[in-house]
Amino acid sequence: MAARLVAEGLGLQAEGHWLIRGASLAVEAGAIHAIVGPNGAGKTSLLRCLGLVVPPSEGRVLLGGCDAIDRWPNCLELRRRVSFVQQRPALFRASVFDNVAAGLRFRGCRGEDLRRGVAEALRLTGLADYERRWPGSLSGGEAQKVALARAVATRPEVLLLDEPCASLDPSSSAAIEDGVRLLAARGMSVILVTHSLAQAARLSDTLHVICEGRLVESGPTAEVLSQPRQTVSRQFIDSGRLP
Amino acid sequence: MDTIARGLWRGLLLIASGEPELYRIIWLSLQVSGSAVVLAALAGCPLGAALALSRFPGRRAVVGLLNTCMGLPPVVVGLTLYLLLSRSGPLGALGLLFTPAAMIAAQALLATPIVAALCLAAVAEVSPQVREAALGLGASPLQATLVVVREARFAMMAAVIAGFGRVIAEVGAVMMIGGNIAGYTRVMTTAIALDTAKGDFELAIGLGLVLICLAFALNAGLQALQGTGRR
Amino acid sequence: MNRWPLMSLALITLILAMPSTLLAATPLSAAPAQAAGPLTMASTTSTQNSGLFEVLLPAFEKHSGIKVHVIAVGTGQALGMARRGDADLVFVHDPEAEEQFVREGWGLERRQVMYNDFVVVGPAADPAKVRGRDAVAAFRRLAAAGFPFVSRGDDSGTHRRELALWRQSGAKPKGASYLEIGQGMEQTLRVANERQLYTLTDRGTWLATREREHFSLQLLVEGDPALYNQYSVIAVNPARFLHVKAKEAQAFIAWVTSSAGQGVIGNFRDRAGNRLFVPNAR
């Protein structure tokens, strides 16, 4: 199957040093990829480049064969095929409805279509009665679900999640994971950054290990976890393994 | 003490009696300061937001200038505008001295830096994560900017109210520019100044009470807005 | 990032804001639909505070349909305003300055309208011993006593008369007891009352405030011709400023010096029932 999103040799430089370098990966429809690595390895930077939120200093990002970086900054059409959810999502100072509707509104969606899109996204994440609520009254788990709902309301081809279950309790975590599985089953490509190897094992079919800005290992999750080829990745995986 | 109590009582009676002179003065004050703050908002909100979101050489200096202008003494603005609008001044041909229009202009000049500086703070305070979240949802750069500005809307409204509070209570500029003409350019503050000088404390106290009530109302509005912003 | 839409919007708004204010506010500034626009008259605070204009101007408007806007400042400032072209006529009380004003070509003609007089007031005990009918002598004695005096210090008609009297007495006021407060007559009287000092005031303001504010000051010097206070009206010279409403100004002068206008002045009483001005147009 042709890859939906392809990254080739992505590099991001800030204040003189490279946050990521030479990162390449390819995601197909319906696939769930996980990116793991130690703190500060560059996971968020990689995701931001893939989400076209920040222009990489070098490399290409191809969506459906078109290079977005080539056209930067006029890549809005391509960027709209991807939704990016931040690690600690900044919800807008508006009702849950308006938050979830934001992406749709950016694309010019109005009226009945808008309402339907929002309702569906809320249903998917289990927030059906939350339309009138405001961010200040939400728990951490609920806020994360709103952020997820808002990202999927626009039916993106690719969903990028930066540690979606950080600081969530197990049941909220499980709910998010169920949501991700459902979306992938419907054909969405998902790339998620996680600090939990167990979560990666549960959810993803492909695993990438990133260390000091470089993708040191990529492959089917089970394989990478049981037989990491690189030393650094082995050290990382071993350190995360339960005794 | 006796005078104060008597004056307060007479002032209240005056307000309750619906004295036309009093209400004409109040209405003119609201019109002049209201128009001025509308203009200040039109000029100051975009200016403050733009300054908050942009980077260019000399930006620090511009922001510093703006903050300095916040503290412009009303009499100085009044004097400068007077010299400009006087018949022997460069803009004399407009014939605007001693008219409400000129008073509006003077107060707009006073309020704009306040509105702009506070809007700048409001927009600058918005987390950069907000812009990124918007971009991540497929916003165009312009749409993302508008999202950031919308985030700051409550604080920006508070900025406008602050600007209004400043100009409704000032006397230096409107006195010089308006001339305190009875029934034409006499507003609350200039009327209080005049009546105090004349020893006519009733009207002065009545107007003073109205001004204080206005200040309370404005403050309550500000509090409500700040509360909404924190929801 | 594209900030330019916002920046240009802000700049355009700023540039457009000013003229559109001025234009938009024309409804507020428009003179009521009348034959002629409002007349701008520069006068003095003491005249305004007496309340005369609240009776005189409506009477004139009824007669002629012309509205008069009064800007009340000190005499010096009033003449200064006229010299800048910001007034159509002046109604002040300083003959020397008025004559210079006309001589220099700023005004057309000095027309007498009404008079009252100045008086010297001071502490009831009169420590400087000024009581009497001789103003210059009184001022000499005040000088000898170290100038225990409150001056308006605002270039008003009263202030100028005070300075003229000092000149005539041969003394130059100075020292810690000579207070120049730069304010109106009522405020000056209040300060004099508080500090128990002497001051020069027009009789009208004295009568009006004395009762209301329960001063302990006493009227000490009156009746000297040097205290005579003549009010005159002068139309600003249209040759100097084309925009001046010369016709309306002449209409006002004609009316205020006519028996109708003079009658209004003569009949005017302040709240305590005092007659403040004596009409004396020629």
Element counts in chain B: helices (H) and strands (E): 11, 0
Catalogue the long-range contacts made by B14-18 (C-beta closer than 8 Å, 24 or more residues apart): B14/B202, B14/B203, B14/B206, B15/B206, B15/B209, B15/B210
Region of poorest pLDDT, from A53-62, B181-190, C20-29: C20-29
Position C2 scores a pLDDT of 43
Between chains, do B137 and A86 touch, taking CB under 8 Å as contact? Answer: no
Q: d(Cα B131, Cα B129) in Å, to the nearest integer? A: 5
Q: Flag if A90 and B132 touch (Cβ within 8 Å).
A: yes
In a domain, A27, yes or no: yes
Identify the band that residue C1 occupies on the pLDDT scale cut at 50, 70 and 90.
very low
Cα Dmax for chain B: 69
Residues 6+ apart with CB under 8 A from B111: B36, B37, B39, B40, B44, B163, B164, B166, B167
The H or E element spanning position B17 is: helix B2-17
User: Do both C124 and C221 map to the same domain?
Assistant: yes
Are residues C190 and C258 both part of a single domain? no
**Whole-number pLDDT of residue C15:** 56
User: Are residues A120 and A13 part of one domain?
Assistant: no
8 Å CB contact of B137 and A151: yes
The candidate with the shortest Cα–Cα distance to C253, out of C35, C68, C33, is C68
Asked if B47 reaches chain C (Cβ–Cβ under 8 Å), the answer is yes
Q: Which of B31, B87, B199 has its CB closest to that of C209?
A: B199
Q: Is residue A211 part of a domain?
A: yes
**Cβ contact C54–B182 (<8 Å):** yes
Q: Is residue A87 part of a domain?
A: no
pLDDT tens-digit profile of C202-257? 988 898 888 777 889 999 999 999 999 999 999 999 999 989 999 999 999 999 99
Nearest to A106 among B130, B143, B231 (CB): B143
Same domain, A75 and A164: yes
C71 close to B (CB below 8 A): yes
**Containing domain of residue A216, as a range?**
1-81+158-243
Helix (H) or strand (E) holding A240: helix A231-240
- Chain B partners within 8 Å of C25 (Cβ): 35, 99-101, 104
Instruction: Please give the Cα distance from A130 to A142 (Å, whole number).
Output: 9
With 60 as the cut, is the pLDDT of residue C36 above it? no
For residues A68 and A42, membership in a common domain is answered with yes
More confident residue, B169 or B4: B169
pLDDT at C16 over 80: no
Q: Is residue C22 part of a domain?
A: no
Contact B105 C14 (CB under 8 A): no
**C33: confidence class by pLDDT, cuts 50, 70, 90:** very low
Note whether C224 and C134 are within 8 A (CB).
yes
Q: SS3 of B214, please?
A: helix
Q: What's phi and psi for C92, nearest 5 deg? A: -135, 180
What domain range is B88 assigned to? 2-229
Report how far apart, in Å, the C-alpha atoms of C210 and of each of C49, C118, C149, C202 are: 14, 15, 18, 12
Q: What is the mean pLDDT of residues C173-190?
A: 88
Total tally of structural domains belonging to chain A: 2
Q: What is the pLDDT of residue A187?
A: 92
Is the backbone of residue A134 left (phi > 0), alpha (psi -120 to 50) or beta?
A: beta
3 state SS of A159: strand
Residue C196 within any structural domain of the chain = yes
Query: Do C176 and C105 lie in a common domain?
Result: no
Answer left, alpha or beta for residue B98, where phi above 0 means left and psi between -120 and 50 means alpha: left
Looking at the structure, tell me whether residues C43 and C123 fall in a common domain: no
- Inside any domain, residue C191: yes
Q: Tell whether A117 and A149 lie within a shared domain.
A: yes
Domains in chain C: how many in total? 2
B87·C40 Cβ contact <8 A: no
Tell me if B138 and A88 make a contact (CB, 8 A cut-off). no
Whole-number pLDDT of residue B201: 78
Count of domains in chain B?
A: 1
Q: Does any domain span residue A9?
A: yes
Asked if A158 contacts A188 with a C-beta cutoff of 8 angstroms, the reply is yes
CA distance B52 to B116: 10
Residues A67 and A183 in one domain: yes
A2 burial level (CB within 10 Å; 0-12, 13-18, 19+) = exposed
- C105 and C239 in a single domain? The answer is yes
What does the pLDDT look like over B49-66, one tens digit per residue?
Answer: 999 998 999 999 999 999
> Integer distance in angstroms from the first to the last C-alpha of chain B?
46
Q: Which of residues 167-196 of C touch B (CB under 8 A)?
A: 183-184, 186-187
Six token digits for residue C179? 């207070």
pLDDT score of A210 more than 80: yes
The size of chain A, in residues, is: 243
- For residues C109 and C140, the answer to whether their CB atoms sit within 8 Å is no
Give chains near C: 3+ CB pairs under 8 A.
Answer: B
> Under a CB-based contact definition with an 8 Å cutoff, are residues B169 and A137 in contact?
no
C149-151 and C278-279 as β-strands: parallel, antiparallel, unpaired?
unpaired
Mark which of A106, A124, A155 sits at the end of a domain: A155
For the CA atoms of C73, C77, C80, C84, the dihedral, rounded to the nearest 10 degrees, stands at -50
B145 inside 8 A of chain C by CB: yes
Q: How far is residue A8's CA from residue A207's CA, in Å, rounded to a whole number?
A: 17
Query: Is A45 a member of any domain?
Result: yes
Chains B & C: contacts with CB separation below 8 Å: 111
How far CA B81 is from CA of B107, B113, B175, C17, C20, in Å, comes to 11, 16, 12, 16, 17
Q: Is the residue at C145 inside a domain?
A: yes
Strand partners, C228: C117
Per-residue pLDDT reduced to its tens digit, C260-279: 999 999 999 988 788 889 99
pLDDT, position C29 = 52
DSSP string, C6-63: HHHHHHHHHHHHHHHHHHHTHHHHPPPS-SSPPEEEEEEHHHHHTT-HHHHHHHHHHH
User: Can you tell me whether residue A75 is helix, strand or coil?
Assistant: coil
Q: B105 and C21: CB-CB below 8 Å?
A: yes
Please check whether residues C108 and C198 belong to one and the same domain.
Answer: no
Residues C236, C96: one domain? yes
What CATH number should be reported for the domain holding residue C132?
3.40.190.10
Q: For residue A99, report the phi and psi dihedrals to the nearest 5 degrees.
A: -65, -50
Q: What is d(CA A225, CA A241) in angstroms, rounded to the nearest whole number?
A: 9
Contact partners, residue C91, CB within 8 Å, separation at least 6: C41, C42, C43, C44, C47, C78, C113, C231, C232, C233
DSSP single-letter state for residue B3: H
The tokens for B66 are 């703006």
Those residues whose C-beta lies under 8 Å from the C-beta of residue B25, and which sit 6 or more positions away, are: B186, B187, B188, B191, B207
Q: What is the mean pLDDT of chain B?
A: 90
Residues C203 and C126 placed together within one structural domain of the fold? yes
CA distance C22 to C9: 20
What DSSP character marks residue B91? T
Alpha carbon distance, N-terminus to C-terminus of chain C: 78
Domain range for C157 is 116-227
Record the tokens describing residue C176, joined without a space.
Answer: 């810690």
Query: For residue A17, with 0-12 CB atoms within 10 Å meaning exposed, 13-18 middle and 19 or more buried, which class applies?
Result: exposed
- Cβ pair C100, C236 in contact under 8 A: no
The answer to the question of residue C146 being in a domain is yes
CB contact under 8 A, A76 and B130: no
Provide the terminal-to-terminal Cα distance of chain A, rounded to the nearest Å.
39
Residue of C nearest to B28 (CA): C28
pLDDT in tens, A33-78: 999 998 888 899 999 999 998 889 999 999 888 888 888 888 888 8
* B43: pLDDT strictly greater than 80: yes
Residue A128 lies in a domain: yes
Exposed (0-12), middle (13-18) or buried (19+): which is B16, by Cβ within 10 Å?
exposed
Mean pLDDT across A1-27? 88
Asked which of A126, A155, A184 is the last residue of a domain, the reply is A155
Q: What is the pTM assigned to this prediction?
A: 0.81
Three-state SS at A109 = coil
Residues C222 and C120 in one domain: yes
Q: What is the structure's pLDDT at A140? A: 84
C73-101 residue pLDDT tens: 888 899 999 999 999 999 999 999 999 99
CATH number of the domain encompassing residue A51: 3.40.50.300
Q: Which amino acid is at C175?
A: G
The token pair that represents A28 in the structure block: 């197909």
A224 in any annotated domain: yes
How far out from the chain centre does Cα B87 lie?
27
Closest among A147, A143, A27, A178 to A84, alpha carbons compared: A147
Pairwise CA distance, residues C131 & C126, whole Å? 7
B94 DSSP 8-state letter: G
Taken in order B74, B75, B76, B78, the sign of the CA dihedral is positive
Q: For residue C40, is pLDDT > 80?
A: yes
Cα Rg, chain B, nearest whole Å:
21
CA distance A35 to A30: 16
Q: Which of B129, B139, B151 sits opposite A106 (nearest CB)?
A: B139
CB neighbours of A58 closer than 8 A, spacing ≥ 6? Answer: A9, A10, A11
pLDDT at site C17: 53
User: Of C187, C208, C227, which residue constitutes the final position of a domain?
Assistant: C227
Contact yes or no for B31 and C28 at CB 8 A: yes
What CATH number did the domain enclosing B31 receive?
1.10.3720.10
Query: Are C196 and C235 in a shared domain?
Result: no
Asked whether B101 and B178 are in contact (CB, 8 A), the reply is no
A78 to chain B, closest Cα gap in Å? 9
Whether residue B154 contacts residue B226, with contact meaning beta carbons closer than 8 Å, is answered with yes
- A7 and A32 within one domain: yes
Q: Which two tokens stand for residue B49?
A: 């937001």
Calpha distance A38→C170 (Å, rounded): 95
Beta strand pairing status for C39-44 and C68-73?
Answer: parallel
The answer to whether residue A233 is domain-embedded is: yes
In chain C, residues with a C-beta closer than 8 Å to the C-beta of B117 are none
Measured between CA atoms, how close is C217 to chain B, in angstroms? 17
